[in-house]
């Protein structure tokens, strides 16, 4: 009986050691996968970034309070989230990343451009995000990555409020991928109270405007 008990204890210890090793291996794999995904997103951002003529570039801004100035004006980073995620919406694969909230003072020659977006065109805040949209199907689809963007304070912006105008809405041919950024002026949201946003995508439609798949709501916290 004593020998059997000793074997049982040794067996339990071996199983415990194996479970611990498996847990550590799983944690290492998870960390590696997260790092790999971040590298891919960073690579995509670096490869596809196109300077937007409506606002200064923000890639160098990583910490709240940092400012960047160029010929388009001056931007200050007010909020940032490390969220990055890929969502399969029927045949569309949507990746959202690099979400930042900026305070912006446009250069004098750009102020008129913003008359249609805000009543405070000489200084305002906006939220920007990077998207990658891929049509994985064998047919043409019609899709809007942001049909409505809503802050936790109830301010809503639709796709017509996007002032970056990088042609990220509409039709995608079979296998086509679009990449770029969207930006929306925030006028009714107190940035001190900004905790989250909800991105409502459109449905995925075919060329006859028949819905192929219902849109999704992506919740993102700051």
Q: What is the mean pLDDT of residues 124-136?
A: 98
Q: Are residues 147 and 105 in the same domain?
A: yes
pLDDT at 36: 38
The reply to whether 61 and 147 lie within a common domain is: yes
| Claim to verify: residue 31 and residue 122 sit in the same structural domain | no
Co-location of 20 and 116 in the same domain = no
Both tokens of 121, joined, read 């065109």
* Same domain flag for 33 and 72: no
140 and 79 in a common domain: yes
pTM for this structure? 0.77
Decide which of 164 and 2 is more confident.
Answer: 164
d(Cα 134, Cα 116) in Å, to the nearest integer? 31
Do residues 121 and 18 both lie within one domain? no
pLDDT 10s digits, 205-221: 999 999 999 999 999 99
* The predicted structure's pLDDT at residue 53: 84
Domain containing 89 equals 54-221
What is the mean predicted confidence (pLDDT) over 112-127?
96
Judged against a pLDDT cut of 50, whether residue 119 lies above it is answered with yes
Distance in angstroms (rounded) separating the CA atoms of residues 204 and 134: 12
Domain count, the chain: 2
Read off the pLDDT of residues 19-50 as tens digits, 9 standing for 90 and up: 554 455 445 445 444 443 444 444 444 445 56
Range scoring the smallest mean pLDDT among 35-39, 105-109, 172-176, 181-185: 35-39
Mark whether 68 and 31 lie in a shared domain. no
Let me know whether 31 and 81 are in one domain: no
Nearest to 195 by CA among 221, 173, 156: 221
- Indicate the pLDDT class of residue 70, thresholds 50, 70 and 90: very high
Are 21 and 81 found together in one domain?
no
139 or 52: whose pLDDT is higher? 139
Alpha helices in 49-143 (DSSP H): none
Q: Are residues 43 and 60 in the same domain?
A: no
């Amino acid at each position: 009986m004593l020998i059997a008990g000793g074997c049982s204890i040794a067996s339990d210890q071996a199983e415990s050691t194996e479970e611990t090793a498996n847990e550590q291996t799983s944690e290492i794999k998870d960390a590696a996968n997260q790092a790999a995904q971040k590298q891919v997103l960073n690579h995509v951002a670096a490869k596809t970034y196109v300077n937007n003529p409506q606002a200064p570039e923000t890639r160098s801004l990583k910490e709240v309070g940092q400012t960047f100035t160029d010929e388009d004006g001056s931007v200050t980073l007010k909020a940032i989230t490390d969220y990055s995620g890929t969502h399969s919406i029927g045949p569309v694969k949507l990746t959202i990343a690099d979400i930042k909230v900026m305070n912006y003072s446009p250069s004098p020659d750009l102020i008129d451009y913003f008359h249609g977006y805000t009543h405070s065109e000489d200084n305002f805040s906006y939220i920007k995000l990077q998207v990658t949209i891929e049509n994985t199907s064998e047919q043409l689809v019609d899709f809007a990555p942001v049909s409505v963007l809503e802050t936790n304070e109830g301010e809503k912006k639709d796709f017509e409020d996007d002032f970056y105008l990088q042609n990220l809405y509409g039709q995608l041919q079979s296998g086509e991928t679009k990449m770029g950024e969207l930006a929306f002026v925030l006028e009714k949201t107190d940035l001190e109270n900004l905790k989250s946003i909800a991105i409502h995508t459109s449905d995925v439609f075919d060329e006859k405007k028949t819905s192929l798949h219902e849109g999704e709501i992506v919740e993102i916290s700051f």
